[in-house]
Amino acid sequence: MLETSKANGQNFTGSVRLIHAVGMHARPAVRLTKLAKKFNAHILIRASNAAEWTNAKSVAKVMALRAVRDSIIEIQASGEDAEAAVAALVDLVATDFPDSGP
Amino acid sequence: MNMRAEIARVAYRGRTASIGFAHGPFVRVDVVPNGKRQIGTPGDEKLAIRAALDLAGRQIALLANAAGGEASQILEFQVALLDDEDFLDPIFAAIHAGTPADEAWSSALEEQIADYNSAPDEYLQARSSDLADLRDRVLRTLRGGANEAPKLPSGAVICADDLPPSRFLEIDWSSGGGLALLRGSPTSHVALLARARGIPMVVQLGAVAERAQTALLDGEHATLELDPGTEQIDVFERRREAHRKSRAAAHAFLRRPAASWDGEKIRLLLNIQRVEDLAHADAQYADGIGLMRTEFLLGEQAGLPDEESQYLAYDAVLRWAGKRPVTIRTFDAGGDKPVLGFTKDGEANPFLGVRGLRLCLARPDIFTVQLRALARAAMHGNLKVMFPMVTTPEELEAARTLFADVVSRLQAEGIPVVLPELGIMVEVPAAALTIERFKASFFSIGSNDLAQYVTACDRTNGALAKLSDPLHPAVLELIGRTAQYGKRAGISVSLCGEMAGDPRCIPALLSCGLRELSVNPSALAQVKQTIDGLSRGGHP
């Protein structure tokens, strides 16, 4: 479950299954928001077809997704580096939030 | 009767968060900052909270650097919150509208804490103590309270409503001590820290007296006793000593970094069926998983297991193992393990029939599902996959081709997968005699079947027990050949049959040149002890 596609002009989306054993908890949420902040793009995230999209750069919001293991995480981004942002975030979730460098 | 009543009055029972014993001064820690402050204009208030947030960020970063590892990861969440505009903006908006900084901060945090506390899962509830930690740290600065670590007597039993991780790290635990929490949770970050440092910790004690001179904290029985009498102290110290001795004895051998014999390291691996088997206390001392059987998956639910339930079973074991190797054996059905809808009925001689890899290759519909689950799980650890009942190199290559197809199909679907290292069980004499023809990454000797086939004795037939001795020279000859070939070719060879856990057989196996043994978790300590005895006592 990993795909990225070009929705329209500047909008990119991707989806991926959350395989982390305890769901979107503190450590994964911190990793995800840290990575999202490296991009200039406006990045939104939602879990399991929730009605609302939320800011992928806010750790409080990402924790509030309460995404459990095996939920489908969708990423949507717009702006200059949107495509790279979606790819990087989808990869982060797909590879189960590996330990990053210092 | 009197004594019971007396004990009941001063002893409190909670839940164990970290096992250990502490006997020392009793200290109540008040984590709620007090004091009123002068309220300035909204502009002043914004400056005040900005400064308090900056200071909190620097303090937490310092703590994280000093503590490192697990602790710094735990504190990362707080650092991330301090840098979260979506979280801070409403606080600044409230201050702009005239709310004092400390109130705006406090009510925003309270709202989050209440939200986490109402979460259904205990892990999320436990995060609320991280938020309370951050709340109090910033409030202490805003309200001008002493924002320094309280001076605590060394070796104290510290009692608090709940204790946040950053406060835990500020306490000097070098002379021991323990932690008694009225609320708290065994899954909290502070519990993780306490376990990592071996600090005894009991949580959910409920109401505890405000004052006392000394305390006994027993992390094993989850009790806290205040101002104990000499009799209580005696009982406590005896328990502490018994605990220390039993651990020391059980772990004397397990704790050694590696068993060795003849100057070479012996790797000790585990035979398991499912992740629950790893709950055995000794399992953590193994060098990895040498054999995970998968047949149990075939009998667990109606019909054959789907990809997802298999994936979860494999993934759980890989996560437990971390960087250590995990060898999973593909379905070894047939022989004495018939499976409805999978194995062939009516074979005259099922032990010599379509079993193990022979059966899997005949049923790619079932085998492919297992390979898909394994390829996905391989992303999360050091996975090796081995095939049972291999007779010729062509069978290994057929399985490899099938596996490679599965991997490329999954990749085309965009699913992250990897082809793990592939090896074979050496249990058919024909394979053992032609071992150099197999292009395998590793060999695992299945001595139960190997002995049965070499001695022509059905191992389920009790009348043949004497003849089917695994120490028959012919069996040892084949084990020795395989081990020697592995040594020459640089291919690892392990043995996962019952012989590996049998102290009587271990000298012969080591003499054959084997340096990897895979045994049940309950046999691990005994095997390590046996090898240790052999290496001290000279040659077997």
Residue A58 in contact with partner chain B when CB distance is under 8 A: yes
Q: Do A64 and B415 touch (CB under 8 A)?
A: no
State residue B496's pLDDT score: 94
Q: Chain A to chain B, count of Cβ pairs less than 8 Å apart?
A: 61
Number of H helices, E strands in chain B: 19, 17
- pLDDT at B5 exceeding the cut of 80: no
- The rounded distance, in Å, linking the Cα atoms of B523 and B291 is 14
Q: Is the CB of B416 less than 8 angstroms away from the CB of A66?
A: no
Rg (CA), chain A: 12
- Highest average pLDDT, of B112-126, B135-149, B328-342, B470-484, comes from B470-484
B148 to chain A, closest Cα gap in Å:
26
Centre a 10 Å sphere on the Cβ of residue B253 and count the other Cβ atoms it contains.
Answer: 20
Rounded mean pLDDT, B388-400:
97
Question: Phi, psi (5° rounding) for residue A9?
Answer: -25, -70
Count of CB atoms within 10 A of residue B288's CB? 21
Kindly report the nearest CA distance between residue A61 and chain B, in angstroms: 8
Enumerate domains of chain B plus CATH numbers: 2-29+150-233 (3.50.30.10), 42-142 (1.10.274.10), 260-537 (3.20.20.60)
Domain count, chain A: 1
Residue B291: strand pairing partners: B271
Chain A contacts of B130, Cβ < 8 Å?
Answer: 26
CA distance B470 to B502: 11
pLDDT at residue B19 above 70? yes
Among this protein's residues, is B189 annotated catalytic?
yes
The strand pair at B421-426 and A11-17 is best described as unpaired
Asked if pLDDT for residue B310 goes beyond 90, the answer is yes
Band (pLDDT 50/70/90 cuts) for residue B284 is confident
Is 90 exceeded by the pLDDT of residue B276?
A: no
Q: Which of the two residues, B436 and B20, has the higher pLDDT score?
A: B436
Name the B residues in 149-188 with CB < 8 Å from any A CB.
none
pLDDT at B36: 64
What's the CA gap between A37 and A85, in Å, rounded?
9
pLDDT digits (tens, 9 = 90+) for B195-210: 767 789 999 898 888 8
Residue B81 makes CB contacts below 8 A (sequence gap 6+) with: A59, A60, B87, B131, B134
Residue of B116, B124, B314 for testing the chain A interface, max A β-carbons within 10 Å:
B124
B-chain residues within 8 Å CB-CB of A59?
Answer: 77, 80-81, 84, 87
Comparing C-alpha atoms, which of B189, B124, B159 is closest to residue B31?
Answer: B159
Report, in this order, helix, strand and coil percent for chain B, each rounded to 5: 50, 15, 35
Reported as a pLDDT band with limits 50, 70 and 90, residue B7 is very low
Residues B86, A64: C-beta atoms closer than 8 Å: no
| Residue B289 β-bridge partners | B270, B326
Q: Which of B73-87, B319-333, B390-404, B436-450 has the lowest mean pLDDT?
A: B73-87
> Within the 218-277 window of chain B, which residues sit less than 8 Å (CB to CB) from chain A?
none
CA nearest neighbour of B266 among B83, B514, B19, B478:
B514
Q: With 80 as the cut, is the pLDDT of residue B537 above it?
A: no
Task: Say if A101 falls within a structural domain.
Answer: no
Instruction: Determine the Cα–Cα distance for residues A4 and B194; give it in Å rounded to an integer.
Output: 42
DSSP annotation of B279 reads G
Burial of B382 (0-12, 13-18, 19+ CB in 10 A): middle
Choice among B189, B360, B457, B505 that is catalytic: B189
**A35 inside domain:** yes
- Asked whether residue B540 carries a pLDDT value surpassing 80, the answer given is no
Between A1, A29, A55, which is nearest B415 by CB?
A1
Instruction: Give how far the C-alpha of residue B28 lies from the chain's centroid of Cα atoms, to the nearest Å.
Output: 33
Chain A contact present for B112, CB below 8 A: yes
What residues make up the domain containing A14?
2-94
Instruction: Give percent above pLDDT 90 in chain B.
Output: 47
Alpha carbon of A67: minimum distance to chain B alpha carbons (Å) = 11
Share of chain A above pLDDT 90, in %: 54
Q: CB-hemisphere CA count at 13 Å for B233?
A: 9
Record the pTM.
0.49
Give the largest CA-CA distance in chain A.
36
pLDDT for the residue A83 = 93
A10 interface with B at CB cutoff 8 Å = no
Q: What is the CA B246 to chain-centroid distance, rounded? A: 22
Is residue A96 less than 8 Å (CB to CB) from chain B? yes
A23 assigned to some structural domain: yes
More confident residue, B124 or B419: B419
pLDDT of residue B118: 83
Return the number of other C-beta atoms located less than 10 Å from residue B24's C-beta: 19
Q: Give the nearest partner residue to B414 out of A3, A22, A33, using CB atoms.
A: A3
In a domain, A62, yes or no: yes
Between CA B451 and CA B458 the distance in angstroms is 9
Query: What is the rounded distance in angstroms from the CA atom of residue B216 to the CA atom of residue B239?
Result: 11
Out of A21, A27, A34, whose CB is closest to B319? A21
Q: How confident is the model at residue A44 (pLDDT cuts 50, 70, 90)?
A: very high
The answer to whether B457 and B467 are in contact (CB under 8 A) is: yes
Strand partners, A31: none
Question: Does residue A11 sit within a domain?
Answer: yes
CB contact under 8 A, B127 and A55: no
For A67, the token pair is: 């995404």
Q: How confident is the model at residue B76 (pLDDT cuts 50, 70, 90)?
A: confident
Mean pLDDT for all residues in chain B:
86
DSSP string, B351-407: GGSS-THHHHHH-HHHHHHHHHHHHHHGGGSEEEEEESS--SHHHHHHHHHHHHHHH
CA B211/CA B227 separation, integer angstroms? 10
Asked if A36 has any chain B CB less than 8 Å from its own CB, the reply is no
The answer as to whether A100 is a domain residue is no
pLDDT of residue B38: 78
Q: Does the pLDDT at position B313 exceed 80? A: yes
pLDDT in the model for residue B315: 92
B465 touches chain A (CB under 8 A): no
Asked whether the predicted pLDDT for residue B243 surpasses 60, the reply is yes
Write the pLDDT tens digit of every residue in B165-218.
778 887 888 888 999 999 887 767 788 778 767 789 999 898 888 888 999 999
Enumerate the residues of chain B whose CB falls inside 8 A of the CB of residue A57: 84-86
CA distances from B527 to B154, B328, B352, B475, B534 (A): 41, 22, 32, 21, 11
The listed range with the strongest mean pLDDT (B3-17, B479-493, B513-527) is B479-493
In this complex, is the C-beta atom of B380 within 8 Å of any C-beta atom belonging to chain A? yes
Spell out the residues 6+ positions from residue B119 whose beta carbon is closer than 8 angstroms to its own: A66, B125
Residue B375 to residue B418: CA distance in whole angstroms? 5
pLDDT, tens digit, 9 for 90 and up, residues B376-386: 999 989 999 99
In a domain, A61, yes or no: yes
pLDDT of residue B300 exceeding 60: no
- A61: domain CATH number is 3.30.1340.10
Query: Contact at 8 Å (CB) between B16 and B202?
Result: yes
> Each residue of B433-465: b (16+ CB within 10 Å) or e?
eebeebebebbbbbbbbbbbbbbebebeeeeee
Pick from B73, B115, B414: CB nearest A2? B414
- Smallest CA–CA distance, residue B312 to chain A, in Å, is 9
- Chain B CB within 8 Å of residue A95 CB: yes
Q: Which residues make beta-bridge pairs with B492?
A: B442
Task: Give the residue from B249, B251, B186 showing the smallest Cα distance to B219.
Answer: B186
What is the per-residue pLDDT across A66-75, written as a single tens digit (0 to 9) for each? 888 888 999 9
Q: Which B residues 29-88 touch A at CB under 8 Å?
A: 73-74, 76-77, 80-81, 84-87
**Block residue for tokens 């593909």:** B330
Catalytic residue among A10, A23, A25, A30: A25
pLDDT at B8: 40
A38 touches chain B (CB under 8 A): no
3-state DSSP assignment of residue A93: helix
Most A CBs within 10 A among B60, B75, B79, B87, hence the mutation to make, goes to B87
| ipTM rounded to 2 decimals | 0.86
For residue A68, being part of any structural domain is answered with: yes
Taking an 8 Å cut-off on Cβ atoms, the answer to whether B77 and A58 are in contact is no
B122/B106 Cα distance (integer angstroms): 23
pLDDT at A101 over 50: no
Distance CA B339, CA B361 (A): 16
Chain A residue with the nearest C-alpha to that of B131: A60
CB A75, CB A15: distance < 8 Å: yes
Confidence band for B525, pLDDT divided at 50, 70 and 90? confident
